[in-house]
Chains A and B, each alone.
Chain A
Amino acid sequence: MTELRDMPAVMEVCDQLLKDVGCDFVALALQNEVGPDVRWHFASGNENDKYKRITVRFGKGIAGKIISSGSPMMISDFPNDIYGKVTDHPIMLAEKLVSCYAVPLFFNGSPKGVLLVGKRRTYTFIDNEQEMVKESAETLEQILKGHILGGGA
């Protein structure tokens, strides 16, 4: 699979989302082609490159949970309003995020990716912003459809 960082269309969507929602961080995670693990492939507004190295197990972490459940989730005040352990949220720790909203990306009817927006302060993402994230997720699904399926998933 070609690196998503090299795909300008993806970058564009993420940067636009960062601007529109007014958040600090946008990232895109995809499930590995082989095996159930999930990796972050692209980020905007990142403080470091840790996200590139983070691999979460299916069902673990924010990305893993969203892919296994197929539904969006929000954290408003990390680490005070989370289920489970602080260490189950590596992307929040790595980027020092305090709030985030994340939605699943569907390919072929099953959740295979995650689009996450986050802020480094307590915040509750309002309906309007949630809609924007969902719309961007749909756009990304379209862009990546050929990429993922063509990549032999």
Chain B
Amino acid sequence: MYSRSRVHNRNLYLFLLKNGLISISVSLIIVQTLISLLQIHIHYLEKIPLFFFVLIIITIFFMIIFIQERKIRSKQEQLLAVIENSTQSLFILDKDKNIISLNDSGRELLDLQNHKVVNFCEVCSTYPGADKICDVSNCFLMNDKENPVELYIKNHHKELIPVQATISFYTTPDKQKGTVVGIQKVSEKRKEEHKEIEKMITHSIFQAQEKERKLISRELHDGIGQSLFGMLLHTDFIKSISEDKMGITQLEKLQQMISQTIEDIRYLSAALRPSTLDNHGLIATLKNHIRDFGQRFGIQINFTYKGSNERLPSAIETALYRIAQEALINAAKYSSAERIDVSISVDKDQNKVSLTITDFGKGVELTSTNRRGVGIYSMEERASILGGDFFINSKIGKGTQIQVNIPIV
């Protein structure tokens, strides 16, 4: 503090010294002019008090000017320092949205080195992903109705950065409306939000998918399936009254085809969403599925269930059924396993249900890419929507184990 004031004082002295000569000469001129104007003849020694008087006045003037100037300058410096060091990226735009000035943070945000940005519109991307669709009248820079605005900034490498922008206006020296844009990165916050939104979307997709499947499955089973069955009964009736032998043979062929179609419809209906899942519960449905699945792929599947006969909440039953289905399909597709163990246990005390699926196949190396690829993501999501955990463990040559724990609420 002390040295600082000394520096300031030295500035003052320097200022005074520099101006001293001017002050002295100006004082001399003033005094001389006054005397000659008033046409007074006095001795030059008598001029001295007058000279000093004028000199003091002038010096005081200069000092006032100096102090005022320092005040203004320090305010300006402070303002500049704030702008320069602000973590917020600041862009100062003129009326045509050209960036006339920007701070370090702004330069960093745009990843500019020597490249100069001309117009703010070049970095602004209000519609991420799509081509820029901008309506001048709706541009957030033109009105401060929706302050702050969330948008994407395209940096020099064409990367999109999610940001939050606040707009304020100023009047340019030539009396026009200029804009100051303050920009703050919101990537972390945004990422979390995105995850949350993604989860909500996945959830509603699952729900919609399940609803639609149920609808189509019912329609197939009760609608088309029933009409086919009616047709079959009708052909039976025609067969009973017909006396044409050739006709009867053809009719029997037709009946076979109808039966086959009924079977196909039933199979399709069950594949979409087994009605047993609603009527008889998870365990019966899973047993059915496992039997069919084992037969289809020639894999031995062992199923164990520990728990009471009580039904689980429908959302959990659906989730567990779909997870088991996915896990089995993965095992059949990739593991080359000959044996798969599936077990479900309901823990009444801890109010949770766990599903474990172990295949004794070749195992897989879990990387971030195949984690998302082979339905693991959907299994994980189904579990997490219900507040459950999902674990996958795989060892090359040993097999893969999937475990899901879901709390019963």
Contact = CB atoms under 8 A, between A and B. Distances in A.
A binds B: yes
20 contacts: A36-B263, A49-B298, A50-B299, A50-B338, A52-B298, A53-B295, A53-B299, A53-B300, A54-B297, A54-B298, A57-B263, A58-B260, A61-B296, A87-B296, A87-B297, A87-B329, A87-B332, A90-B332, A93-B297, A93-B336
A94 B264 CA distance: 24
A57 B267 contact: yes
Contacts of B295: 53-55
Secondary structure class of chain B's binding surface, majority of residues: helix
B407 interface: no
Interface of B: 260, 263-264, 267, 294-300, 329, 332-333, 336, 338
Given A87-B329, A90-B332, A93-B332, A59 B298 contact: no
Contacts of B300: 53
A52 B298 CA distance: 7
B298 A94 contact: yes
A86 interface: yes
A61 B338 CA distance: 19
Given A36-B260, A50-B338, A53-B294, A87 B299 contact: no
Nearest to B335: A93
Contacts of B294: 53
Nearest to A52: B298
A2 interface: no
Interface in A17-61: 36, 48-59, 61
A134 interface: no
B263 A51 contact: no
Contact of A54 (B260, B296, B333): B296
Nearest to A94: B298
A121 interface: no
Contacts of A87: 296-297, 329, 332-333
Given A58-B260, A87-B329, A93-B332, A50 B297 contact: yes
Interface in A80-128: 86-87, 90, 93-94, 96
